[in-house]
């Protein structure tokens, strides 16, 4: 199993440009998440999905949109990038078991907005 994969690994955008980050998981997990991580900060939840076709807002959803058309994929979109969105983005997935909800993370996408 590849686990959780993210593409691209790095990207530089100009202010106002748009892009989509792709997250894929091959573990048949129901739940998927997008986080951003800034220097000296923990992970902050942007959006999450509890199943195919469903999405919900997290702690910092403004400026981002998401889609979960297939169970294995979770897309994060930036319609008009801003320098404040410069960050490292992590995707995670989990299969709620009723006992624990351990999240498995991807390797991250480093995004710079100029």
Partner 1 sequence: GESVGLHLPTLSVQEGDNSIINCAYSNSASDYFIWYKQESGKGPQFIIDIRSNMDKRQGQRVTVLLNKTVKHLSLQIAATQPGDSAVYFCAEHQAGTALIFGKGTTLSVSS
For binding to partner 1 (CB under 8 A), which residues are involved?
4, 33, 35, 40-45, 48, 58, 90, 92, 99-108
CB of 79 to partner 1, least distance (A): 23
CB of 101 to partner 1, least distance (A): 6
Label residue 59 left, alpha or beta by phi (over 0 means left) and psi (-120 to 50 means alpha).
alpha
CB of 41 to partner 1, least distance (A): 6
Instruction: Identify which of residues 63 and 108 has a Cβ nearer to partner 1 in the complex.
Output: 108
Report d(CA 114, CA 45) in Å as an integer: 23
CB of 100 to partner 1, least distance (A): 5
Report d(CA 43, CA 40) in Å as an integer: 10
Report d(CA 22, CA 67) in Å as an integer: 10
Instruction: Identify which of residues 2 and 14 has a Cβ nearer to partner 1 in the complex.
Output: 2
Handedness of CA 22, 110, 90, 27 (dihedral sign): positive
Instruction: Identify which of residues 26 and 101 has a Cβ nearer to partner 1 in the complex.
Output: 101
């Amino acid at each position: 199993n590849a686990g959780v994969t993210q593409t691209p690994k790095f990207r530089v955008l100009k202010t106002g440009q748009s892009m989509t980050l792709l997250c894929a998981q091959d573990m048949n997990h129901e739940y998927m998440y997008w986080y951003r991580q800034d220097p000296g900060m923990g992970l902050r939840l942007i959006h999450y999905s509890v199943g195919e076709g469903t999405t919900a807002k997290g702690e910092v959803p403004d400026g981002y949109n998401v889609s979960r058309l297939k169970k294995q994929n979770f897309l994060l979109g930036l319609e008009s990038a801003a320098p404040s969105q410069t960050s490292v983005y992590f995707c995670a997935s989990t299969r709620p078991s009723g006992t624990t909800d351990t999240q498995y993370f991807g390797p991250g996408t480093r995004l710079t907005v100029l």
